[in-house]
Amino acid sequence: MSSLRMEVGDALLSLGRYDEAVQILESAVDEAYVADDDAGVLRAANLLTFATADPLGQPERARRWVWLARVSEQRLGLPQDHPARAVSLNNLGVVYMAEGDLRAALGAYEQALAIREATLGPEHPEVATILANIGSVHVDRGDYAQALEAQLRSLAIREATLGPDHPDVALSLNNLGIAYMAQARYDEALAVLQRALAIREAVLAPDHPDIATTLSNIGSTHNALMAYEEALAAHLRAVSILETASPEHPDLVGALNNVGNTYQSLGEYDQARRAHERARDVCGATLGPEHPNYAMSLNNLGTVHMDLGRLDEALAEHRQAMEIWSAALGKEHPYVATALLNLGAVLHERGEFQRALDAHERALAMWETTLEPNHPYVGIALYNMGRELLALGRLEDAIASLLRSLDVLAHVDAPPPELGEARFALAKALWARGEQAQAVTQARAALDDLRRLAPRRVALIAEVRSWVRAATAPEVD
């Protein structure tokens, strides 16, 4: 009976019906345990580890299943290089990813890969699965070239072994699109994502969550290209699919947040606020108000309220998001650093520059331990620190921090708008130090960056343009 439940649970996972799958798989574990079926316990525990850590975002709950899988392996007397160990190690990597421990995730995946390649050969579809996971870690760490290499290899294996129209090929294309996006190769990202969508629409039910996932990535690519209307259409379609699949689907929260972010990019703040509030409410009803996804909706609401000048509400939302992430994922998780960065931004607007600096310094310390030293987030934190130091009158410290920021942001594959902001802040700092010529050079470069990377930041572009004109105007005796 437990084996039948496992088959049903596995099928429900494939359909994206995660809560139902977990319920059935937990019953399967109990039955296998009572029957003294260690192999059955191991299989069900591995399925539950994946389901609770990834789609449901419950790494603490997943840890229980990691432990049970390990106990089952020991009871079965499996050697360290047994194929079942690769499954457990891969799932452990998924848990580490959910916890934000990217180095540990990479280590677990690489161990799983070594076992798979040794036992199945380098061209097996299971090898492709682990390569895809390794690629995802590299994206989050900022190792974009390695991410692309892993995803391209994963795709090649799947196309050769499964055929060009298999759903797993679509999954590899989806992952490849994300890797291209990380490198700002948006046209290539859009092309592979459109191909992934075509495969999924041909082989899956029209309301399958995987179609919504690809649409969300297409929408994010359009966002990066500043094609906001196309982005909104893709995100709204993703929401519609997930609502049809289940009004309580766990992916619905992320899809609604994407809609809200796009409305925010369009300057439609009331629509953005409503989308994020709905995401928060759906998450609260389905996953609870202590879930990390609930914190993400609060974080997004905080950014909208900041844009609207409602600083007290923004501050409260970012603080609550940070508390939830700290409790659910640990105090050193990258999401906590994100909350600190946003808290610092609100505190800056309130004129609380020292408290803002403290928040940005904490965010930088976290990111420097989890990300590569040239990751954009490191550069953004350094920029924000420089801005606070400048506001506090610590001119030399501000210039040093801003120069470090530019050294990172000017050399990443996909420079964020903060590159232009950092250049403008440096221009003002250099001017204050009496280095007018260098200041004007930086300000002009900032203007070019902002026009290219953030053309909708009209007020900031106008401010920089006005500053350059004033700085270069001839003196009148």
Q: Is residue 464 part of a domain?
A: yes
In a domain, 444, yes or no: yes
pLDDT in tens, 48-88: 887 777 766 677 788 888 888 888 888 888 888 888 888 88
DSSP string, 274-314: HHHHHHHHHHHHHT-TTSHHHHHHHHHHHHHHHHTT-HHHH
Residues 202-222, mean pLDDT to the nearest whole number: 94
pLDDT value of position 477: 41
- Residues 6 or more apart whose CB falls under 8 angstroms from that of 164 comprise none
Q: Is residue 139 part of a domain?
A: no
CA torsion sign for 154, 190, 95, 30 is negative
Residue 30 pLDDT:
82
If one counts every other C-beta atom within 10 angstroms of the C-beta of residue 18, the result is: 21
The boundaries of the domain holding residue 462 are 360-477
Buried/exposed code over 303-324 (b: 16+ C-beta within 10 A; e: otherwise): bbbbeeebbebbbbbbbbbbeb
Domain contains 93:
no
The whole-number pLDDT of residue 435 equals 96
Asked if 109 contacts 93 with a C-beta cutoff of 8 angstroms, the reply is yes
What is the pLDDT, as a whole number, of residue 247?
82
Find out whether 192 and 176 touch, Cβ atoms under 8 Å.
Answer: yes
Tokens of 247: 């009004």
How far apart are the C-alpha atoms of 320 and 309, rounded to whole Å?
19
What pTM value is reported for the model?
0.83
Amino acid (1-letter code) at residue 385: M
Instruction: Give residue 445's Cα distance to chain centre.
Output: 29
Does residue 445 sit within a domain? yes
CB of 267 closer than 8 Å to CB of 242: no
Does the residue 288 lie in any domain?
no
In a domain, 167, yes or no: no
The answer, yes or no, to whether residue 382 has pLDDT greater than 60, is yes
Condensed to tens digits (0 to 9), the pLDDT of residues 278-290 reads 999 998 988 789 8
Question: Distances from the Cα of 140 to the Cαs of 103, 257, 433, in angstroms?
Answer: 10, 20, 38
Indicate if the pLDDT at residue 475 is higher than 80.
no
- H or E segment at 184? none
pLDDT tens column, 318-364: 999 999 999 888 888 888 999 999 999 999 999 999 999 999 999 99
Residue 243 has pLDDT above 50, yes or no: yes
Structural contact between residues 61 and 98, judged by C-beta atoms closer than 8 angstroms? no
Q: What is the CATH number of the domain that holds 445?
A: 1.25.40.10
Answer whether residue 30 is part of any domain. Answer: no
DSSP state of 205: -
User: Is the pLDDT at 298 greater than 70, yes or no?
Assistant: yes
Nearest to 405 by CA among 425, 431, 434: 425
Range with the lowest mean pLDDT among 43-57, 172-186, 220-234, 454-468?
Answer: 43-57
Count up the domains in the chain and report the number. 1
